[in-house]
């Protein structure tokens, strides 16, 4: 029995090699526990101090037919001894738990990649399901790779036999065998995983024991089998000093919302309807009732945002979370919030569209819906996180804007950001922005009548006063009908409407946002690449590669989509070429062209997956070398 | 007066502060000119609400009216309280968020047969089943008024309107039956023209803790005039109108021709001449029954054709409200695990560089 407590193979120097970065992809049936396996490996890498980024990729079906291509679920993890920006383009190691997983992922591998397969699943029947006439393990088509055939199911069953589980239950532990094997290959610490398994299955000690045994068996297999003569070490990354944890985008978003409530000293009310990939925010928020966070699982998307707006009217920080189709349903209520001029946070975790589209895949095609998807002139502020950890900061920013300007704010995350994870430098709570607000307590009528007029504004921010029910003397009515500015009574006056439309626009245009920063190490770049949202990682990684090849390129990234930073026009006009990569058909590029009259060129992909650094590197270096896009 | 279901039977206004000075109808009247059509039944409801609110003895600022879209939806503008004129059908959602976060408010929803039963039907039934502490006034005039006279979900089948020139084909909703089917804990029906009964019903609805639905038959003098005239005509109404009261036998009719509601051998309710049945056969109304079948059977009597029509409180049972329980969970969580944001953000697995 191998020592498993903090065992690292320092003692085995003769077989250990160093690597700077590794990309691993675990792939199997959607019932094989690949997401859990990936999560655990990620935690091990995080605990070791590597920088990391992850990309879960799973089907919309909860259990597609076993062993088929549509049922393949995968989890990709990139970990390194330096700060990385993406989950990696191509896996260095593929763990394929069945023929479908192999077939679905083979195309993404580079020559020389390592492939670990569970040979027990390579039966005639399973091979036939995915159209293999002969086993790829024997046909020679894997010659380009280093293949490790491992009878994982049988080895797992043997390892856990002593627990007395049924064969079926025993076999279910094979993902932990795979995790144990990979943990050995990459010299990962193991004690946290064993503790995790014992906690996760605390109510089923037999199952907990079996999983731990399978995990250890995988480790031992690596250590004792000659085919795995080499293990690798990826040293901890030298990130900025501080205490880190691993966080997914949805988790960071939830923490940001809880923190916004804490720093504004307002109760948080989340009204939401389950929808992929946003539901995890609701789940996470529901766990923090001790922070005064109310979560309301509504009867539909409309009720979710309606209840949030009702809570805002009552003096809470009203929040709703959704994905694209849900945002469409919420449009009318967001329009009402524009008219009422009340704070409201609307978080859209974008997914592939139109309609139901690709629920579990990523896309950034809701930008125009967020900006313009309502009737009438209905401006709202729009922000977008650039990475999983940035979801925390952007949630606080969204709350600042909503509370300061009494406006709905749309926060556009996406599936890749939401489910991806990365190390997060844990912030000091005391250093988080002060978001406290002042409710109206006194009548404010300019005619000295002693009345409260709901649409009297702050001259700086143009925000109206927030007088919450229960405040004596400030009784007032608001609604979706056009109002006279100031007094707030219903008005059909043409000039008033024109003035109010422009006023609401001016208020949003005047939202203070920081200038966009340009990363141009040489200061001599003539090409600027500008992105927004989750493309930050691949664009940044591509820029590094372009520069490593001796070319110059400038990078800028928008976290504020409405209003846009005031220096943006100047920045855009400062370059000969502006390239805008987007996971849509060119929505931001269209806005930039119309707003700034610059010849921004689109590079777009709408495949449900993030950009690869490799493809962007090619596009960008071609442009730098003078090609037209 | 409420059934003990193991949950404290709390007053609908518990949590709302008792008001300082005594208020009058005038205090609840806003400066907005009321702009319903002359003869609209909404005036009577507005007068009854303004007239009855002072007796609740709660501050004006703790009262909120939320409405959707439709003629009735203008209601909040005419009340000198907090109010929101929201969007079509969605008032119950807004009221749910407000009532859940603010136990100190007395929250009212004003809706109509189009707003509450058509575009907002989903929200209405879910608010009722959740039992959020709100009072819903459903103005039922059996027509779309604001959009100028299309048939509504409570219009008579065959009704000729602008959108149904050869007669509507829809089977109408019975709002009381619907509310009972949606697990509503308080369901009542009343008439715009009967100020005393309307006020008494509003009083009971406000006192009820949980979702209260009050259907108010209300006349639209422009597009569906006289829809409820048979219930207002002095002679006709004696023959048609059954006012139920908890604990009382269900009887009605002129003195010389009394009727009673009896249960048939097949279990259904029917109207019988008192002279022809034994007094012990007459059904005694019990609004506090957990089982809804009695209230439901009453709601089916006569139905759409108002012959007869049951008014009064069909059901008033006590069960835990959604918002009370949400707040209880928050309080319990805070007691068990005091909020520590730094601890939450830090989590259990960290590393330091």
User: What does the block give as tokens for A296?
Assistant: 């309301």
Distance from C-alpha of B206 to C-alpha of B192, rounded to nearest angstrom = 17
* Closest CA–CA distance from residue B62 to any residue of chain A (Å): 5
Residues of chain B contacting A316 with CB distance shorter than 8 Å = 97, 101
pLDDT class of B303 with cuts at 50, 70, 90: confident
What is the CA angle A320-A324-A327, rounded to 5? 45
Enumerate residues 36 to 65 of chain A having a beta carbon within 8 A of any beta carbon in chain B. 43, 46-49
Residues of chain B contacting A421 with CB distance shorter than 8 Å = none
Dihedral sign for Cα B220, B221, B222, B227, please: positive
**A303:B122 CB<8 A:** yes
pLDDT of residue A15: 72
Question: Which stretch of A33-37, A61-65, B36-40, B308-312 has the lowest confidence by average pLDDT?
Answer: A61-65
**B339:A300 CB<8 A:** no
User: What does the block give as tokens for A337?
Assistant: 């919030």
* A590 Cβ neighbours under 8 A, 6+ residues apart: none
Q: What is the CATH number of the domain that holds B160?
A: 3.40.50.970
Cβ of B330: how many Cβ atoms within 10 Å?
A: 17
Structural domain includes residue B327: yes
Is A550 in contact with A624 (CB distance < 8 Å)? no
A9-233 and A518-624 agree in CATH topology? no
Secondary structure element (H or E) that encloses residue A332, with its range: helix A324-340
Please name which of A418, A423, A416 lies closest in space to residue A42, comparing C-alpha atoms: A423
pLDDT of residue A193: 93
Is A390 in contact with A416 (CB distance < 8 Å)? no
User: What does the block give as tokens for B281?
Assistant: 């056969």
**Percent of chain A whose pLDDT exceeds 70:** 98
**B80:A271 CB<8 A:** no
- In this complex, which of B79, B102, B350 lies closest to A244 when CB atoms are compared? B350
Is A363 in contact with A414 (CB distance < 8 Å)? yes
pLDDT of residue A69: 93
- Nearest C-alpha in A relative to B21: A472
* Closest CA–CA distance from residue B330 to any residue of chain A (Å): 5
Distance from C-alpha of A202 to C-alpha of A210, rounded to nearest angstrom = 12
Tally of structural domains, chain B: 1
* Closest CA–CA distance from residue B219 to any residue of chain A (Å): 25
**A310:B94 CB<8 A:** yes
pLDDT tens-digit profile of A126-159? Answer: 999 999 999 999 999 999 999 999 999 999 999 9
Residues of chain A contacting B99 with CB distance shorter than 8 Å = 310
**A428:B341 CB<8 A:** no
pLDDT tens-digit profile of B197-216? Answer: 999 999 999 999 999 999 99
User: Mutate which of B87, B97, B338 to test chain A, going by most A C-beta atoms within 10 A?
Assistant: B97
**B96:A479 CB<8 A:** no
pLDDT class of B21 with cuts at 50, 70, 90: confident
Structural domain includes residue B10: no
Range of the domain at B84: 25-240+303-346
**B82:A475 CB<8 A:** yes
**A473:B104 CB<8 A:** no
For A441, which DSSP code?
-
**A469:B105 CB<8 A:** yes
pLDDT of residue B211: 98
**B64:A469 CB<8 A:** yes
Fold of A518-624: Rossmann fold (3.40.50)
Residues of chain A contacting B50 with CB distance shorter than 8 Å = none
pLDDT of residue B238: 95
Kindly provide the b/e burial profile for residues A425-435, where b requires at least 16 CB atoms within 10 angstroms of the residue's own CB. ebbebeebeeb
pLDDT of residue A573: 97
Dihedral sign for Cα B319, B324, B326, B329, please: negative
* A456 Cβ neighbours under 8 A, 6+ residues apart: A444, A445, A446, A464, A465, A486
Give mean pLDDT, residues B98-116. Answer: 98
Residue given tokens 């694209």 in the structure block: A324
**Per-domain residue ranges for chain A?**
9-233, 245-431, 438-512, 518-624
The architecture in CATH of the region A245-431 reads 3-Layer(aba) Sandwich (3.40)
ipTM value, please give it.
0.96
- In this complex, which of A237, A474, A479 lies closest to B84 when CB atoms are compared? A479
Q: How many CB pairs under 8 A join A and B?
A: 201
**A243:B61 CB<8 A:** no
* B151 Cβ neighbours under 8 A, 6+ residues apart: B143, B144, B159, B161, B163, B164, B168, B170
Residues of chain B contacting A246 with CB distance shorter than 8 Å = 349
**B102:A289 CB<8 A:** no
Structural domain includes residue B132: yes
β-pair partners for A560: A383
Structural domain includes residue B204: yes
- Nearest C-alpha in B relative to A42: B349
* Closest CA–CA distance from residue A363 to any residue of chain B (Å): 28
> What 3-state class would DSSP assign to B193?
coil
Residues of chain A with pLDDT under 50: 1-14
User: Mutate which of A306, A424, A481 to test chain B, going by most B C-beta atoms within 10 A?
Assistant: A306
pLDDT of residue A9: 41
CA distances from B319 to A297, B176, B297 (A): 20, 19, 22
**A288:B105 CB<8 A:** no
Please name which of B159, B179, B182 lies closest in space to residue B169, comparing C-alpha atoms: B159
**B334:A288 CB<8 A:** no
Alpha-helical (H) ranges within B228-340 are 234-240, 293-300, 322-336
- In this predicted structure, the answer to whether residue B352 has a pLDDT above a threshold of 80 is yes
- Nearest C-alpha in A relative to B97: A307
pLDDT of residue A268: 98
Fold of A9-233: Pyruvate-ferredoxin Oxidoreductase; domain 3 (3.40.920)
- In this predicted structure, the answer to whether residue B3 has a pLDDT above a threshold of 60 is no
pLDDT tens-digit profile of B48-58? Answer: 999 999 999 99
Please name which of B261, B207, B266, B344 lies closest in space to residue A259, comparing C-alpha atoms: B344
- A160 contact B CB<8A: no
Enumerate residues 121 to 150 of chain B having a beta carbon within 8 A of any beta carbon in chain A. 122-123, 126
Please name which of A314, A313, A262 lies closest in space to residue A288, comparing C-alpha atoms: A262
**B353:A428 CB<8 A:** no
**A48:B351 CB<8 A:** yes
pLDDT class of B258 with cuts at 50, 70, 90: very high
CA distances from B218 to A364, A555, B15, B32, B248 (A): 50, 65, 32, 22, 26
Enumerate residues 335 to 354 of chain A having a beta carbon within 8 A of any beta carbon in chain B. 335-336, 340
pLDDT of residue B2: 37
Is A245 in contact with A46 (CB distance < 8 Å)? yes
Please name which of A281, A374, A377, A360 lies closest in space to residue A327, comparing C-alpha atoms: A374
**B352:A242 CB<8 A:** yes
**Percent of chain B whose pLDDT exceeds 90:** 92
pLDDT class of B121 with cuts at 50, 70, 90: very high
* Closest CA–CA distance from residue B252 to any residue of chain A (Å): 41
- In this complex, which of A236, A258, A271 lies closest to B344 when CB atoms are compared? A258
* Closest CA–CA distance from residue A217 to any residue of chain B (Å): 25
């Amino acid at each position: 029995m191998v020592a498993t407590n903090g065992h690292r193979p320092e003692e085995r120097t003769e077989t250990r090699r160093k690597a700077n970065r590794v990309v691993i992809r675990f792939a199997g049936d959607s019932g094989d526990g690949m997401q859990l396996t990936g999560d655990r490996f990620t935690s091990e890498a995080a605990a070791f101090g590597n920088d990391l980024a992850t990309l879960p990729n799973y089907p919309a079906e909860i259990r597609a037919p076993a062993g088929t291509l549509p049922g393949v679920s995968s989890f990709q993890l990139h970990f390194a001894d330096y700060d990385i920006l993406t989950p990696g383009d191509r896996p260095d190691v593929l763990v394929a738990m069945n023929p479908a997983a192999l077939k679905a992922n083979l195309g993404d591998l580079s020559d020389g990649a390592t492939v670990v397969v569970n040979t027990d699943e390579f039966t005639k029947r399973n091979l036939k399901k995915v159209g293999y006439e002969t086993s790829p393990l024997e046909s020679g088509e894997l010659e380009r790779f280093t293949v490790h055939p491992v009878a994982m199911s049988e080895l797992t069953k043997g390892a856990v036999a002593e627990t007395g589980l049924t064969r079926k239950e025993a076999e279910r532990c094979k993902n932990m065998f795979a995790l144990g094997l990979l943990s050995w290959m990459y010299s990962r610490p193991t004690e946290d995983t064993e503790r995790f398994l014992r906690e996760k299955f605390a109510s089923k000690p037999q199952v907990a024991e079996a999983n731990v045994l399978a995990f250890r068996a995988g480790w031992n297999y690596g250590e004792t089998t000659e085919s795995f003569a080499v293990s690798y070490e990826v040293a901890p990354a030298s990130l900025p000093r501080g205490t880190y944890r691993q966080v997914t985008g949805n988790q960071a978003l939830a923490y940001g919302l809880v923190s916004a409530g804490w720093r504004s000293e307002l109760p948080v009310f989340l009204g939401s309807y389950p929808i992929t990939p946003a539901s995890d925010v609701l789940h996470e928020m529901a766990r923090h009732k001790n922070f005064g966070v109310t979560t309301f699982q509504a009867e539909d998307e409309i009720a979710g945002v309606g209840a949030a707006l009702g809570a805002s009217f009552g003096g809470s920080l009203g929040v709703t979370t959704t994905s694209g189709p849900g945002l469409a349903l919420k449009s009318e209520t967001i329009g009402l919030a524009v008219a009422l001029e009340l704070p409201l946070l609307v978080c859209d975790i974008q997914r592939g569209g139109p309609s139901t589209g690709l629920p579990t895949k990523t896309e950034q095609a809701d930008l125009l819906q967020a900006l313009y998807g309502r009737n009438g002139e209905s401006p709202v502020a729009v922000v977008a996180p650039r990475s999983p950890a940035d979801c925390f900061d952007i949630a606080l920013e969204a709350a600042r804007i909503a509370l300061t300007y009494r406006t709905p704010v749309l926060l556009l995350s996406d599936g890749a950001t939401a489910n991806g994870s990365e190390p997060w430098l844990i912030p000091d709570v005391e250093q988080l922005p002060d978001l406290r607000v002042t409710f109206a307590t006194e009548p404010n009528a300019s005619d000295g009548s002693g009345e409260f007029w709901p649409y009297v504004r702050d001259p700086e921010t143009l925000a109206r006063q927030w007088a919450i029910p229960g405040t004596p003397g400030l009784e007032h009515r608001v609604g979706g009908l056009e109002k006279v500015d100031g007094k707030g009574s219903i008005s059909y006056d043409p000039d008033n409407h024109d003035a109010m439309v422009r006023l609401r626009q001016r208020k949003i245009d005047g939202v203070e946002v920081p200038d966009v920063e340009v990363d141009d190490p040489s200061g001599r770049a003539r090409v600027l690449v500008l992105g927004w949202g989750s493309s930050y990682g691949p664009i940044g990684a591509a820029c590094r590669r372009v520069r490593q090849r001796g070319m110059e390129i400038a990078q800028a990234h928008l976290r504020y989509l409405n209003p846009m930073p005031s220096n943006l026009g100047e920045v855009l006009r400062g370059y000969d070429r502006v390239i805008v990569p987007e996971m849509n058909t060119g929505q931001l590029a269209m806005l930039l062209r119309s707003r700034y009259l610059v010849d921004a060129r689109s590079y777009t992909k709408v495949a449900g997956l993030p950009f690869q650094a490799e493809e962007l590197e090619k596009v960008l270096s071609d442009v730098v070398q003078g090609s037209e896009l | 007066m409420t059934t003990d279901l193991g949950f404290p039977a709390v007053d609908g206004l518990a949590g709302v502060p008792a008001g300082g000075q005594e208020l009058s109808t005038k205090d609840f009247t806003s400066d907005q000119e009321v702009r319903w059509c002359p003869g609209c039944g909404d005036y009577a409801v507005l007068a009854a609400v303004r007239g009855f609110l002072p007796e609740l003895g709660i501050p004006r600022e703790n009262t909120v009216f939320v409405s959707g879209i439709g003629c009735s939806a203008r209601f909040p503008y005419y009340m000198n309280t907090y109010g929101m004129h929201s969007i079509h059908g969605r008032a119950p959602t807004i009221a749910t968020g407000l009532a859940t976060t603010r136990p100190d408010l007395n929250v009212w929803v004003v809706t109509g047969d189009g707003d509450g039963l058509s575009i907002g039907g989903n929200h209405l039934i879910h608010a009722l089943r959740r039992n959020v502490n709100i009072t819903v006034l459903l103005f039922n005039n059996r027509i779309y008024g604001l959009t100028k006279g299309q048939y509504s979900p409570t219009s008579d089948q065959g009704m000729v309107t602008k959108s149904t020139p050869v007669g509507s084909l829809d089977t109408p909703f019975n709002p009381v039956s619907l509310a009972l089917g949606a697990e509503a804990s308080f369901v009542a029906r009343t008439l715009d023209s009967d100020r005393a009964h309307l006020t008494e019903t509003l009083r009971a609805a406000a006192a009820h803790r949980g979702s209260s639905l009050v259907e108010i038959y209300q006349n639209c003098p422009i597009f569906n005039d006289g829809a409820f005239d048979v219930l207002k005509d002095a002679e006709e109404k004696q023959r048609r109108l059954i006012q139920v009261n908890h604990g009382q036998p269900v009887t009605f009719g002129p003195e010389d021709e009394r009727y009673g509601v009896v249960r048939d051998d097949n279990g259904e309710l029917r109207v019988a001449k008192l002279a022809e049945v034994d007094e012990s056969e007459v059904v005694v109304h019990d609004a506090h029954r957990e089982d809804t079948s009695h209230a439901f059977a009453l709601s089916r009597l006569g139905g759409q054709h108002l012959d007869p029509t049951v008014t009064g409180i069909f059901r008033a049972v006590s069960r835990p409200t959604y918002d009370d329980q949400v707040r209880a969970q928050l309080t319990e969580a805070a007691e068990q695990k005091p909020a520590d944001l730094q601890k939450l953000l830090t989590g259990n697995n960290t590393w330091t560089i």
